[in-house]
């Protein structure tokens, strides 16, 4: 075991006591890629599981510059004033490449970061979305066990990370700007369809009128979508993190949503489906990891990759060969 690791019982006791330092260390354990840490992390997550789940999980997305960090700082502060404990997590699989991890720069959320009732954690590093989102999900469970009752999960509005975040939250909030075209904002129809709420952001100063127009536009557009399974039509709100306008309405909408979904049973049903999906995704992630880590697979890949690139070896044929090698080595290692 690594020197500064605690026992499962020590982590658990610290987390349940709401100790933010122990919580941070436990998340570091979860994020570690060392095999000995994985075993400890799994036991810990299993041990705190009965104490998790008692929060509202909110996903927040939108293109860079739309104002996500500023919103989380302002919104989070309002929630603290309402007596909530707020944890902020992030999913950004690109963070390792660009080194520009979202939430990496905590100064963007100075007030929140300094408050003892809040907990902010940047996106874990990792090369695959599967790995990054699995770690974020486990971190979320630990935060809940530590008593945080609102979990905000931030992600960038580009690519597949939205789907990953949608799959781990109860309410998905899309931040948009008035005036910029949908294409300009990189907002695809699919992301609009995922949203439970849309916040037209920066509705202040000269922007107010445009924001109001955009609100009507998106309200109409969203009504053209087929109703979602839970019967909820996404709310469209105008808001500003500078003036605070719309932030209270945003929270009321989320509370109303939660209330309705609890009553209809959708809330639990959704979480149950999400858990099954996590299982499926994690099995796939572990299989992929085991496959790529195997020496024989790596050798064969290195030797033949160029032929696949050149179009002289069928990717499908080669994939089967790789699987054969993988299973052979797997069996050999077991016996
Ligand atoms: P992120 O990349 O989505 O996290 O966006 P940031 O929170 O970093 O904000 C991008 C820029 O927009 C910053 O210069 C903010 O000061 C500004 N901004 C954020 N929210 C608002 C707002 O409500 N109104 C106005 N006028 N500017 C804002």
Please state the atom number of ligand 1 nearest to the C-alpha of residue 63. Answer: 3
Query: Which contacts (CB < 8 Å, 24+ apart) does range 28-37 have?
Result: 29/5, 30/135, 30/138, 30/139, 30/142, 31/124, 31/125, 31/135, 31/139, 34/2, 36/1, 36/2, 37/2, 37/5
CATH 3.40.50.300 fits 1-50, yes or no: no
**Cβ atoms 53, 116 nearer than 8 A:** no
Domain ranges across the chain: 1-50, 52-264, 294-334
- Cα 69 to middle of ligand 1, angstroms: 7
Q: Which residues line ligand 1 (CB under 6 A)?
A: 62, 64-70, 108, 201-202, 204, 240-242
Average pLDDT over residues 25-30: 94
Tell me which of 61-75, 136-150, 302-316 is least confident: 61-75
Is residue 76 scored above 70 in pLDDT? yes
pLDDT value, residue 110: 82
Kindly report the pTM of this predicted structure: 0.90
Q: Which residue has the tokens 């570091």?
A: 28
Is residue 157 scored above 90 in pLDDT? no
The percentage of residues in the chain with a pLDDT greater than 90, rounded to a whole number, is 63
pLDDT tens digits, 250-285: 999 999 999 999 999 999 999 999 999 999 988 998
Residue 151's DSSP bridge partners are: 57, 87
pLDDT tens digits, 94-123: 654 444 455 555 456 888 888 989 999 987
pLDDT value, residue 172: 96
Helix H, strand E, coil C: the string for 262-320 is HHHCHHHHHHHHHHHHHHHHHHHHHHHHHHHHCHHHHHHHHHHHHHHHHCCCCHHHHHH
Tell the CATH superfamily of the 52-264 domain: P-loop containing nucleotide triphosphate hydrolases (3.40.50.300)
pLDDT value, residue 56: 98
The DSSP result for 190-256, as a single string, is HHHHH-SEEEEE---GGGHHHHHHHHHHHHHHHHTSPPPTT-PPPEEEE--TTT-TTHHHHHHHHHH
Among 64, 65, 66, 70, the mutation site with the greatest number of ligand 1 atoms within 8 A of its Cβ is 70
Is residue 41 scored above 90 in pLDDT? yes
pLDDT value, residue 99: 47
- Cα 62 to middle of ligand 1, angstroms: 11
pLDDT value, residue 103: 55
């Amino acid at each position: 075991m690594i020197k500064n690791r605690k026992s499962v019982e020590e982590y658990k006791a610290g987390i349940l006591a709401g100790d933010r330092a122990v919580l941070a260390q436990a998340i570091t354990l979860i994020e570690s890629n060392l095999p000995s840490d994985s075993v400890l992390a799994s036991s810990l997550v299993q041990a705190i599981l009965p104490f998790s789940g008692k929060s509202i999980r909110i996903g927040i997305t939108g293109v860079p510059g739309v104002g996500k960090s500023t919103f989380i700082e302002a919104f989070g502060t309002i929630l603290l004033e309402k007596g909530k404990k707020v944890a902020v997590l992030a999913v950004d699989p690109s963070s390792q490449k660009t080194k520009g991890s979202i939430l990496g720069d905590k100064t963007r959320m100075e007030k929140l970061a300094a408050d003892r009732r809040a907990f902010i954690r940047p996106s874990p590093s990792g090369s695959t979305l599967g790995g990054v989102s699995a770690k974020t999900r486990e971190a979320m469970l630990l935060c809940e066990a530590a008593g945080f009752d609102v979990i905000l999960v931030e992600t960038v509005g580009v690519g597949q990370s939205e789907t990953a975040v949608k799959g781990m939250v109860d309410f998905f909030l899309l931040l948009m700007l008035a005036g910029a075209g949908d294409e300009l904002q990189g907002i695809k129809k699919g992301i609009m369809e995922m949203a439970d709420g849309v916040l037209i952001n920066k509705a202040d100063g000269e922007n107010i009128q445009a924001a109001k127009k955009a609100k009507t536009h998106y309200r109409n557009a969203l009504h053209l979508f087929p109703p979602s399974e839970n019967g909820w039509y996404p709310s469209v709100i105008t808001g500003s993190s500078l003036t605070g306008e719309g932030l209270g309405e945003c929270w009321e909408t989320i509370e109303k949503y939660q209330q309705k979904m609890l009553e209809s049973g959708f809330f639990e049903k959704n979480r149950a489906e999400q858990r099954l999906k996590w299982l499926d995704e994690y099995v796939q992630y572990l299989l992929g990891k085991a496959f790529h880590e195997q020496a024989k697979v790596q050798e064969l890949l290195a030797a033949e990759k160029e032929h696949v690139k050149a179009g002289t070896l069928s990717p499908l044929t080669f994939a089967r060969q790789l699987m054969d090698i993988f299973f052979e080595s797997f069996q050999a290692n077991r016996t």
